[in-house]
Amino acid sequence: MASNVNMTRVDAELEAFIPLFPSADLTNPAAARKGLAELAAAAPAPDTTGMEIEDRTVPADPDVAVRIYRPREAQGGIIWLHGGGFVMGDLETEHPWAVRIATSSGAVVVSVGYRRAPEDRFPAALDDAYAVLDWAVGHAADLGTDRGRIAVGGHAAGAGLAAAVALRARDQQGPPIRFQLLSQPELDDRQETWSARNFTDTPFMTRAKVAASWRHYLGSAPATPYAAPARADDLSGLPPAYITTAELDPNRDEAIGYAQRLLQAGVPVELHQWAGTFHGSQAVQSAEVSQLQTAEIGAVLRRALAG
């Protein structure tokens, strides 16, 4: 553990679950994917009562697999991008989280099975996410919403992709985006913030794991703002944002800095830094702080997509 990181700050309900998380290692993508899949499979099955769930394929080059969650009397929709350092995660591992978002927010959730690194590096995942946004806006009525009430969001690397989608849509006068929901976003490959430099051995996510994530995603290519949104010079004209951070997360300070820069650019922002949490800890749904996080995300999204 980095000497200036006091792990007694971890929430007491979360601490017991730390050994159950997969090791913070992305050197072997196949093994990392297997570990995340096992963690997700061990979680209790979510309650999907009254919810329509449909697997679809979005026409693109190549086509993109999506899973659509329609709660009763849905209001608005969100293109949801799973986490996993651009390397791990899929529609199955994200299923419990997508159900929780749909249930708590009342929004249609379109979970995206985007291409992963290192087999498919930047901009493959971004292209997939953008294609799904374009499709969803064009098929809003079919999804049970309208084209003016569609948000983008995600967790970790998925949140970074969501921020990049918002930048690209602004720059290319693309599909309208009502809101961006960025949960513990991975936004900056440079790793120059205080948390990135000091959180070298925090649970599940470490400085080395973040660095490996960016290596897999970028390869030898230089990072652009569409790969690492924190590099964007101009954040004006972007959709309103909700940004959440975990206290013991290397990505914490880049997310807080992004929120501050959005505010300075005139973009409405709500920022919540959750004390005692670590990257991905909201997967422990038995903990009160995780339940509060889920409830708040649902309430924020419901409010943003309302009427």
CATH code at position 87: 3.40.50.1820
If pLDDT is split at 50, 70 and 90, which confidence band does 64 have? very high
If pLDDT is split at 50, 70 and 90, which confidence band does 23 have? confident
DSSP 183: E
DSSP 245: E
Task: Report d(CA 247, CA 224) in Å as an integer.
Answer: 27
Q: Give a yes or no: residue 2 inside a domain.
A: no
pLDDT tops 90 at residue 57: yes
Which pLDDT value is given to residue 173?
97
Which pLDDT value is given to residue 88?
96
Average pLDDT, integer, range 21-37: 86
Task: Report d(CA 129, CA 152) in Å as an integer.
Answer: 9
pLDDT tops 90 at residue 267: yes
**C-beta of residue 128 within 8 angstroms of C-beta of residue 114:** yes
Q: Give a yes or no: residue 1 inside a domain.
A: no
Q: Give a yes or no: residue 26 inside a domain.
A: yes
Task: Report d(CA 255, CA 196) in Å as an integer.
Answer: 11
Choice among 41-50, 97-106, 107-116, 277-286 with the minimum mean pLDDT: 41-50
Task: Report d(CA 154, CA 163) in Å as an integer.
Answer: 9
pLDDT tops 50 at residue 81: yes
Which pLDDT value is given to residue 3?
38
Q: Give a yes or no: residue 90 inside a domain.
A: yes
If pLDDT is split at 50, 70 and 90, which confidence band does 21 have? confident
Task: Report d(CA 59, CA 282) in Å as an integer.
Answer: 33
The sign of the CA dihedral 127, 227, 85, 276 is negative
Task: Report d(CA 238, CA 63) in Å as an integer.
Answer: 27
The partner residues of 119 in beta bridges, in order of sequence, read: none
**C-beta of residue 66 within 8 angstroms of C-beta of residue 143:** no
C-alpha closest to that of 209 among 81, 80, 29: 29
Helix (H, G, I), strand (E, B) or coil at 202: coil
Q: Is the peptide bond before 123 cis (omega within 30 degrees of 0)?
A: yes
If pLDDT is split at 50, 70 and 90, which confidence band does 8 have? low
Which pLDDT value is given to residue 9?
87
CA-atom Rg of the chain in angstroms: 18
Both structure tokens of 300? 């924020």
If pLDDT is split at 50, 70 and 90, which confidence band does 100 have? very high
Choice among 9-13, 122-126, 129-133, 175-179 with the minimum mean pLDDT: 9-13
If pLDDT is split at 50, 70 and 90, which confidence band does 62 have? very high
Q: What's the whole-number average pLDDT of the chain?
A: 94
pLDDT tops 70 at residue 272: yes
If pLDDT is split at 50, 70 and 90, which confidence band does 36 have? confident
Pairing of strands 77-81, 64-70: unpaired
Q: Which CA distances in Å does 75 have to 187, 219, 238, 254?
A: 29, 40, 22, 31
The sign of the CA dihedral 232, 236, 241, 246 is positive
Task: Report d(CA 197, CA 206) in Å as an integer.
Answer: 10
CB half-sphere exposure, 60, CA atoms < 13 A = 25
Which pLDDT value is given to residue 1?
40
Which pLDDT value is given to residue 24?
62
Pairing of strands 108-113, 64-70: antiparallel
Q: What is the pLDDT of residues 183-238, one digit of tens each?
A: 999 999 999 999 999 999 999 899 999 999 999 999 999 999 999 999 999 999 99
Q: Domain total for the chain?
A: 1
Domain that holds residue 281: 7-305
The predicted model scores a pTM of: 0.96
**What are the strands of the beta sheet with 52-58, ordered from one edge?**
52-58, 64-70, 108-113, 77-81, 150-155, 180-183, 241-248, 269-278
C-beta atoms surrounding 4 within 10 Å: 8
Choice among 20-24, 77-81, 167-171 with the minimum mean pLDDT: 20-24
Choice among 25-29, 194-198, 239-243, 286-290 with the minimum mean pLDDT: 25-29
